[in-house]
Structure 1
Amino acid sequence: MRFQIENRRLFSVNMLTDRFIKNIEDQIEEAQVKLGYADESVRLYYPLASLEDILDEKFEDNEDCIKSLLSNEEIINSELGNMEFNNHGRNIEVVISPVGVKYVYENKKPSDFLVEFIGTFASNHHLKIEEIKEVFSKYGEYKCEDVPADSGFKWALYFVDSEEDEYVYCINEEMGHTIYHRFTKNDYKKLLEA
């Protein structure tokens, strides 16, 4: 019986580690669609609460989280190569080496949705919400919600079935330009609660 419990915990830890690695890969992929591939390190910044959600674990502080990440062999030995974790004020900096960035470029294919979505923003800096909805509608059933004004955004769009894309895209108009920010569903909920 004890072996099964330990084995179940190991499975759970592996799934959470996979979720963390996937989140990193997704962010690198998004940057590569926007900017193209560059043979250089990428730095990502996570609030502690975001990493706690992704890893489904509570930490005392940033340093405690960093120690946990550094002791996780699945993360250290992932296809992303050597990663650095640094305490960066309110955030944890994750530095992915050029080896990891190249791995994502060569082995991960961005979805057609992500390519078209980012391409739409690149070709028109003054998008209307209807144009953004049109892109979503090509790829599946989606929701569009008005977002409270104090959140910094006007709308949030996401797919009902997260198999197409698991993120929430928050849209705003700033200084005559339409911008977006992509959140995990849990981070989006926290944005609304703030």
Structure 2
Amino acid sequence: MTQFVVDLRSPGITIRPINLLSGEHHFNEVIIDNVEISDDCLHREVGGGWTQVTSELAYERSGPERFLSTFPALVALLRKLGEDADRGQKVVIGRMAAQLRALRGMSVSVASALDRGDAPNVEAALVKDLGTRFEGDMVEQIRLLVETQPEYGADDELNRLLAESFLHMPGFTLRGGTNEILRGVVARGLGLR
């Protein structure tokens, strides 16, 4: 496989936004139909595309955005509870903080491996899989911790952020590969496939 860099304004390329439930769009459908390219569009070397793609996916899968996209809701929760958090709320918040710290450590480890020129595909897949689950679980835990009615566009910061998070949750498992695909990457890396 070989990668090419193509001008998206080229004739034959059609880009269609895929809207989220919130009306925003972060994904696109890109259709490439009989697009002509020259040799100077070659990215790196002929046949080196798969190595490049797996490296790009490792970066995409293991970055902090995999587990920090719902972090503002946690900050809003802490602001709302302040010193009035009860013991049960503190335990749940402590667990979320510990998970967040572990994910950050894993993400930094993958970044270091990539910087050394390693190919931490399995590790990156694990960060993405665990990070995706953490994002969804965190939103649900916050909702259960406080009596709130998530409302898109609400003045109350926590209500607004929770509503936005609920609308974005389906996309958490899509970006960087679905969790099922990632588990296949891990299984192959462990020699189970």
Relative to the length of structure 2, the TM-score reads: 0.27
More helix as a share of residues:
2
More strand as a share of residues:
1
Relative to the length of structure 1, the TM-score reads: 0.27
Larger radius of gyration: 2
- Return the structure number with greater relative CO, CA threshold 8 A, min gap 6: 2
